[in-house]
Amino acid sequence: MNGKTGWGDWWPSALVPAPEESGAPPLLEPDEPPPFEIVNPTGQANALLICDHASNRLPRRLGRLGLTDDQLQQHIAWDPGAAAVARGLSARLDVPLILGGYSRLAIDLNRPLASPELIAAESAGVRIPGNQGLSAAERNARLAALFLPYHQAIAELLDAHPNPELRLISLHSFTPWLAGQLRPWSVGLAYGRDPRLAQQLRPLLAQQADLLVGDNQPYGIEDSYDFTLPTHGEGRGIPHVMIEIRQDGLQTQAQIARWVERLACIC
Ligand SMILES: [Zn+2]
């Protein structure tokens, strides 16, 4: 930590005790992967790519949270295809990239700490047995092992980034069907109070005739729902956008390569 941004900026001491006071054992065992991965940290492009929902891995101590292997492959556990596009873009544009290392079902890296969806008891109609009735110590163990290190790493990347023209691009994917409704957009650009980057990218994406581009659809950015871009983008005055790609466009290597090329051309 270099002192510019610390956990204290986000840690709601009134909500939960600090992790060292919780008494819980560390969630991750020493041989497990770290809570985040940084790719191309010295990339020279004037952006940072972020992929909150890159992985469906669960910490060993959490087992499968009572879910089946099939359920853990579904969108409730991660954003299928998003990490592959992010890695491709990072290489193609020479952009640093940070990816979350564990499933959003362990803790959602893009939810505010007070959100009931931070550690979801249910997701898209699926009850998550391993997330029912957690103690404060169990919640704190997940915050301390997964959430806080990830966001601290983003803060450090931004502190260290020398480029004053920095942009933040958060990559997600969304399921084509939710609650029986088809979502028609091929891709969505989401923004909150800062539409600058979305406004730059939208006309470029919309030029691609086969794409239906969502304007804050299927999701926008809201303080009650999102954490990553409100904290690191809006919080620092950095132009930012969330790009959501529909998951049925990310099922093959060829589709993923196509999205990498599309986004590389407009970014
Ligand atoms: Zn996502």
Please check whether residue 258 lies inside any domain of the structure. Answer: yes
Per-residue confidence at 4, pLDDT binned at 50, 70, 90? very low
The pLDDT tens digits of the residues spanning 225-234 come to 999 999 999 9
- Average pLDDT for residues 39-54, to the nearest whole number? 95
Lowest pLDDT segment from 16-30, 54-68, 128-142, 168-182: 16-30
Looking at the 3D structure of the chain, how many domains does it have?
1
Residue 10 has pLDDT above 90, yes or no: no
Please check whether residue 2 lies inside any domain of the structure. Answer: no
Q: How far is the CA of 171 from the centre of ligand 1 (A)?
A: 7
* Mean of the per-residue pLDDT values of the chain: 90
CATH number at residue 198: 3.40.630.40
Copy the structure tokens of residue 215: 């304007």
Per-residue confidence at 142, pLDDT binned at 50, 70, 90? very high
Q: DSSP assignment, residue 33? A: P
Cα 55–Cα 74–Cα 245 angle in degrees, nearest 5: 70
* Distance between CA atoms of residues 77 and 185, nearest Å: 22
Q: How far is the CA of 29 from the centre of ligand 1 (A)?
A: 26
Angstrom distances, CA of residue 26 to CA of 20, 23, 30: 10, 9, 9
CB neighbour list of residue 215: distance below 8 Å, 6 or more residues apart: 188, 189, 198, 202
- Average pLDDT for residues 180-206, to the nearest whole number? 94
Q: DSSP assignment, residue 31? A: T
Please check whether residue 180 lies inside any domain of the structure. Answer: yes
Per-residue confidence at 266, pLDDT binned at 50, 70, 90? confident
Residue 212 has pLDDT above 90, yes or no: yes
Q: How far is the CA of 83 from the centre of ligand 1 (A)?
A: 10
Q: How far is the CA of 11 from the centre of ligand 1 (A)?
A: 22
CB neighbour list of residue 130: distance below 8 Å, 6 or more residues apart: 62, 63, 64, 65, 66, 67
Please check whether residue 70 lies inside any domain of the structure. Answer: yes
Q: How far is the CA of 242 from the centre of ligand 1 (A)?
A: 9
Q: How far is the CA of 118 from the centre of ligand 1 (A)?
A: 13
Q: How far is the CA of 209 from the centre of ligand 1 (A)?
A: 25
The pLDDT tens digits of the residues spanning 69-88 come to 999 999 999 999 999 999 99
* Distance between CA atoms of residues 189 and 170, nearest Å: 10
20 compared with 45, residue with greater pLDDT: 45
Q: DSSP assignment, residue 180? A: T
Angstrom distances, CA of residue 122 to CA of 4, 127, 132, 171, 208: 36, 4, 9, 23, 37
- Average pLDDT for residues 228-250, to the nearest whole number? 95
- Average pLDDT for residues 172-199, to the nearest whole number? 94
User: Which range marks the domain in which residue 226 is found?
Assistant: 7-266
Please check whether residue 1 lies inside any domain of the structure. Answer: no
> Strands of 97-100's sheet, edge to edge?
36-39, 97-100, 47-51, 167-174, 240-246, 187-190, 213-215
